[in-house]
Amino acid sequence: MEKITMNDYIKLPKTAVVLGNFDGIHKGHTLLIKKAKEIAREEGVKTAIFTFNPHPSFVLTGKMPVDLIYTGQEKEMVMEQEGIDFYIEFPFTKQSASMSYKQFIEDIILTKLNAQVVIIGADYRFGKNKLGDYKTLVKYSQEYDFDVIVVHKLKHKDTVISSTWIRDEIKNANIELANELTGRPFIINGQVMKGKNIGTGIGIPTANIIPDESKLLPPKGVYVSKVQVKGKDYNGVTNIGNNPTVEGQALIIETHIIDFNEDIYGEEISVKLYHYVRPEKKFNNLTELKEQIDLDIEEMKNYFNLTK
């Protein structure tokens, strides 16, 4: 996958372009992506994702995001896993917001993205004052040489899948349902930093990461997890919290990886959550904390059906 920040000089080979905001990259979004890949295969064109960054609503309201399901870096990683050829980020500014839908279609979609087919959600809006939508594109497609495919919202048990719904489930620690709606485990990426090594002292070494400020997190507590290190997955138990037992301060994501003893300081890892185990507690001493963590590990092993 090639990531491109939109500039004046871009000219892609013929593409099937998906337009969207994609926070969450849920099964509804994946449907659009699948469609693009299908067309790309049939017509011998490349797949492209076009997205604004930051999300238009943050620029228009002036508020910074604090509840992103995926940070920019995570989104890119997931798009890469989805098998996209070009991932295009358009820096959304007050200036780009003032571009008319005509200009957007002609200059961006047709000229720079070289779209042969545009895949768009029924509710997607573009151009100044959000006056453009799939109907606008369909109209243009009769004059210019490209096709439009409109994809309607996908439901899960009678409810439309949305990023808002997924956010709510994550906030309520319903990780399984959130994962069901996106079709992949919820991830928290970060660089492993040096800890105080208190965990190592009690036989529970951890890989610690500080979450990105804009990242939505589930409630503090312990989760069954897997950690991707250098492309490989390992089973683990993850605590999200402030470590009240050892008078910790900053919110930190600590994962004890089982059957693992490599030094991975500085490594970029991806913590994948599967299941909420319990809230974070303040224990009287490290022995009690260690006893509880041993139980957490048991629960993780049961969850993954590991034999020992």
Which is nearest to 293 in space by CA: 229, 233, 246?
A: 246
293 binds ligand RBF (CB under 6 A): yes
User: Taking a C-beta distance cutoff of 8 angstroms, is the pair 3, 87 a contact?
Assistant: yes
| C-beta of 18 vs 173, nearer to ligand RBF | 173
Under the criterion CB under 6 A, does residue 280 sit at the interface with ligand RBF? Answer: yes
Q: How many CB atoms lie within 10 A of CB 167?
A: 17
Structural element, H or E, at residue 277:
strand 268-278
4 binds ligand RBF (CB under 6 A): no
Beta bridge partners of 227: 234, 271
* Options 239, 269, 270, 273; binder of ligand RBF; rule CB under 6 A: 239
Q: Does 245 bind ligand RBF (CB under 6 A)?
A: yes
Q: Residues 25, 217, 182, CA angle at the centre, nearest 5°? A: 25
225 binds ligand RBF (CB under 6 A): no
User: Binding segment for ligand RBF among 1-9, 104-112, 160-168, 199-207 (CB under 6 A)?
Assistant: 199-207
Does 74 interact with ligand RBF (rule: CB under 6 A)? no
130 contacts ligand RBF (rule: CB under 6 A): no
The residues near 149 (Cβ < 8 Å, ≥ 6 apart) are: 35, 39, 117, 118, 119, 120
Q: Is 149 within 8 Å of 120 (Cβ atoms)?
A: yes
By CB under 6 A, the count of residues binding ligand RBF is 22
Return the bridge partners of 121, or none.
151
Instruction: Indicate the residue among 32 and 289 with the shorter CB distance to ligand RBF.
Output: 289
- Which is nearest to 277 in space by CA: 258, 304, 249? 304
138, 195, 258, 264: residue in contact with ligand RBF (rule CB under 6 A):
195
199 interacts with ligand RBF by CB under 6 A: yes
- Tell me how crowded residue 227 is: count the other CB atoms within 10 A of its CB: 24
| Binding range to ligand RBF, per CB under 6 A, among 25-33, 65-73, 227-235, 241-249 | 241-249
Query: Binding to ligand RBF by residue 71, rule CB under 6 A?
Result: no
- Residue 271 binding ligand RBF, by CB under 6 A: no
Binding region for ligand RBF (CB under 6 A)? 195-196, 198-199, 204, 206, 222, 237, 239, 243-246, 254, 256, 280-283, 289, 293, 296
